[in-house]
Structure formats: structure tokens, C-alpha cells
Amino acid sequence: MRTGIVVFPGTWSDRDCAHAVGEILGEPVRYVDHRERDLHDLDLVILPGGFSYGDYLRCGALARFTPVMEAVSDFANRGGLVLGICNGFQILQEARLLPGALLRNSSCEFRCEWVHLRVEQSDSAFTLDSRPGQVLRIPISHGEGNFFADAHTLESLERDGRVVFRYCAPDGRVTAAANPNGSLRNIAGISNPRGNVVGMMPHPERACEVLLGGDDGLAVFRSAVHALARVPV
């Protein structure tokens, strides 16, 4: 799985993602500068976490205008796999590759902690290795992760099975107490209709080693490997 990790000036999960995919999974990885336009050599593009341009304005609002985001759009439209993590999810929304918006956390605070995610559907490229209802333990680390969409969008997301992850209790129940940021319907991750583009607030690259607290995040990256093996793109 030839993986490109996009680096905006304020990205900081780039090296963590490279560690997870490159060192732990052993897949070839290269960094993609925000000024690059050519992604033809890649199977998977990761938009990692961070503060792309400081995000003093709306998160990701500037990043969407970069040359690389044009290329990412083309790449996604051609069926390439795209995973937006945290700030990457915010950028995918700003770039209109995914619907909805991520508002300030309802606590009005940044939150860094382990949460539980229920896998809602296993058709996306990043949940192929999981079964629906499976619970993954993965950390969040964000100030703006409160998923919002209008009622119509929300209904179509639900109807089309595009809600990929929901915040849940350890036993899988979707409860208000398990919602760390006020997201509508506990939504933690969604996909595009084709399932090749997924955005998620939690950081799977931080959950790839038992030493660091757990390795449930590996399922996300392994799924991509299997998706590529199954459906050549």
C-alpha cells in the first residue's frame, strides 16, 4: 500500500502516521508537501492531525485552498483511498469531500483522552477488517470535533450507511455520557457515498501499540491494505 502522508505547515501527526503505517505495518510511506500536485504514485492518502495553518480562523479553512487539496480531490474522485484524521477530517469537510461541519466541543475545551468507538458499517475502506457493532478503543485529541450536519444531510448519512464510527460506552451502547464533544448522534467518523474517503476525529495512529495503551487503531490501516487487495483501483 503506497501511502502518502500530507504535510501542511502546522501538521503534527504526520510522523505518528508514518510510524504506524511505515514501521508497524511495514508499508511504503512518503510525505506529501502541501504544494505538491501529483499523487499518481499513491494508493492511500492520509490527511493527518494538527493545526494546518494555525487554524486561528476555522480549522482547515485555509488548507482547502492548497495545491495538494486539488490533487486530493482528483485522487478521491478516481477512487483513491483517503483517510482524514482529526484536522484531516476538518479539511475534508472544508474541501467538500465530506459533508457536515465540526464545531467547538460542547465542553468548550480541548479534550485528549481514550474513547470507545462502535463500528457502524464495515463497507468503508477503513472498516473492512471490523465487523459492525465491534467496539474499538482509540484516543481523541481535539478542540473542534463536535459533528454537525443539517437534518437532511444527517438522514442521508444514516440511510446510506455512511456513519462509520459512533462514540459509545465500552459495551457498545451509544450513550450521551460516552459522547466526548457533543457530536450529533455521537458521530465520530463518516464516509463519502463510495466509501473510499473517510474522515474521523479519533487518532487511530496513536492506538497501534499495546505499549502506548492499545492497538485497536491498526484495524483502520489494515482495512485499507485489504481494501486495496480486494478492489484494485
Partner 1 sequence: MAATIGRLALAAVALNQDEYRGILGALGRAPNELELGMLGALWSEHCSYKTSKSLLRQLPTEGPYVLQGPGENAGAVDIGDGLAVVFKIESHNHPSAIEPYQGAATGVGGILRDVFAMGARPIAILNALRFGPLEGGRNRHLFQGVVAGIGGYGNCFGCPTVGGEVYFDSGYDDNPIVNAMCVGLVAHQRLRHAKADRTGDVVLLVGADTGRDGIHGATFASVEMDERSASRRPAVQVGNPFLEKLLCEACLQLNELDGVTAIQDLGAAGLTSAASELAHRGGRGIDIDVDRVSRRELGMSAYEVMLSESQERMLVVVRPEAETAARQIFDHFELHADRVGNITSTGRIRIRDAGAVAADLPLKTLVDGVPLRSPAAAFGDKPPSPVLPSIEEPEAVLLDLIARPNLRSRRPIYRTYDHQVQDNTVIGPGFDAALLRVPGTHKALALTTDGNPWYVALDPYEGTKAAVAEAARNITCTGARPIAVTNCLNFGNPERPWVFGQLQESVRGLADACRAFDLPVVSGNVSLYNETSERNIPPTPVIGMVGLLDDLSARCPAGFQEDGDLVFLLGETHEELAGSEYLRMLGARVEGRPPMVSLEMERRLQAGLLDSIGRGVLRCAHDVAEGGLLIALAESALFGGRGLRCPSIVGHVSREAFYFGESQGRVIVSVAPRRVPELQKLMAHHHVPLYAIGVVGGEDFQVGSDIRVPLDTLRAAWETPF
Task: Point out the residues that are catalytic.
Answer: 86, 203, 205
Whichever of 12 and 148 has its CB closer to partner 1, that residue is 12
Shortest approach of partner 1 to residue 158 CB, angstroms?
30
Residues 54-93: x where in contact with partner 1 by CB under 8 A, - otherwise, as a string: xxx-------------------------------------
Shortest approach of partner 1 to residue 199 CB, angstroms?
19
Q: Which of 133, 124, 112 has the alpha carbon at shortest distance from 207?
A: 112
DSSP single-letter state for residue 11: B
Shortest approach of partner 1 to residue 10 CB, angstroms?
5
Q: How far is CA 91 from each of CA 70, 99, 118, 193, 231, rounded to the nearest angstrom?
A: 12, 11, 23, 18, 26
Judged by CB under 8 A, the number of residues near partner 1 is 29
Residue 75 CB contacts under 8 Å (≥ 6 apart), including other chains: 39, 42, 45, 82
Whether 103 contacts 146, CB under 8 Å: yes
Stretch that binds partner 1, among 39-47, 50-58, 158-166, 194-202 (CB under 8 A): 50-58
Strands 3-7 and 29-33: parallel
Shortest approach of partner 1 to residue 175 CB, angstroms?
18
Shortest approach of partner 1 to residue 52 CB, angstroms?
9
9 binds partner 1 (CB under 8 A): yes
Q: Which of 2, 58, 104, 111 is in the footprint of partner 1 by CB under 8 A?
A: 111
Residues in the chain: 233
| Footprint on residues 14-33 left by partner 1 (CB under 8 A) | 15-16, 19-20
| Footprint on residues 166-205 left by partner 1 (CB under 8 A) | 203, 205
Whichever of 110 and 231 has its CB closer to partner 1, that residue is 110
Residue 67 CB contacts under 8 Å (≥ 6 apart), including other chains: 34, 35, 36, 37
Here the cell at position 22 is: 511505515
Stretch that binds partner 1, among 69-77, 110-118, 163-171, 223-231 (CB under 8 A): 110-118
Q: CA-CA distance, 80 to 113, in Å (whole number)?
A: 31
Here the cell at position 34 is: 502541501
**What are φ and ψ of residue 66, in 5° steps?**
-80, 155
Binding residues vs partner 1 (CB under 8 A): 9-10, 12-13, 15-16, 19-20, 49-51, 53-56, 109-113, 139, 141, 143, 203, 205-206, 209, 211-212
